[in-house]
Amino acid sequence: MKIVIIDYGAGNIQSIKFAIKRLGFEAVLSSNEEEIKNADKVIFPGVGEASSAMRMLRQSKLDILIPTLKQPVLGICLGMQLMCSKSEEGETTGLGIFDVPVIKFNNSVKVPQIGWNQICELSSPLFKNIKESEYVYLVHSYYVSECEQTIATSEYGVKYSTALRKNNFYGVQFHPEKSSNAGEHILKNFLEL
């Protein structure tokens, strides 16, 4: 199986690579169009600020390539947020794969949310053998509301989407690579899609 992690200068890529290695697979980093198109699975990471991450995607024309991909694609954290229509962070447009905006948590809760929260209402093969209310690790200041594409929800002041799916595109707000055994199991489920 050929697994490509999209390389555009953003994200804690090393941890994802290691998590995949612990599952017995090798992932390669790439920003090359052909290599990404020919992969069996594509992982779209992201840590940092939305508008500068979008700028880096545009510079390498990955903003055009990603929405056209046909194989399973998994956006992680900011990667998932960039797959949405737009973000309040830096007032940027997104890739528009998920037709929902990214908004900031209001001040009734501490921002960023840092730590382990539960994922509920799981409805996707991505969560095969994952129990309802399982704990995952999250670090984020912006969130996606519930929408038609929601496949998992969590609560932090509001109920929001912790995972999204549209066709071959999946997005998770949490970090599966840092979410202990449950996180590794979710990554394994993705690789087996």
Partner 1 sequence: MLTKRIIPCLDIKNGRTVKGINFVDLRDAGDPVELAAIYAASGADELVFLDISATEERRKTLANLVLKVAEKVNIPFTVGGGISSVEDVDILLQNGADKVSINSSAVKDPDLINRLAAKFGSQCITVAIDAKLIDGEWIVHLVGGKVQTELNLFEWAKEVEMRGAGEILFTSMNNDGTKNGFANEALAKLSTELNIPIIASGGAGNMQHFCDAFIEGKADAALAASVFHFKEIEIKDLKEELKNKGIPVRL
Q: Which is nearer to partner 1, 149 or 153 (CB)?
A: 153
- Asked if residue 3 binds partner 1 (CB under 8 A), the reply is no
In whole angstroms, give the CA distance from residue 23 to residue 185. 9
The tokens describing 151, both together, are: 């496949």
- Near partner 1 by CB under 8 A: residue from 29, 69, 111, 158: 111
- Asked if residue 167 binds partner 1 (CB under 8 A), the reply is no
- Near partner 1 by CB under 8 A: residue from 67, 90, 96, 112: 112
| Cβ within 8 Å of residue 129, ≥6 positions away | 185, 189
Q: Which helix or strand (DSSP H or E) is residue 54 part of? A: helix 50-59
- Tell how many helices (H) and how many strands (E) occur in the chain: 6, 13
| Residue 49 C-beta: closest distance to partner 1, Å | 6
# binding residues, partner 1 (CB under 8 A): 36
Q: Which is nearer to partner 1, 77 or 165 (CB)?
A: 77
- Asked if residue 165 binds partner 1 (CB under 8 A), the reply is no
Provide the 10 A C-beta neighbour count for residue 132.
11
Diameter of the chain measured on Cα atoms: 46
- Asked if residue 178 binds partner 1 (CB under 8 A), the reply is yes
- Please compute Rg for the chain using Cα positions: 15
Contacting residues toward partner 1, per CB under 8 A: 12-15, 18-19, 21-22, 47-49, 107, 110-118, 135, 137, 139-141, 155-156, 175, 177-181, 183-184
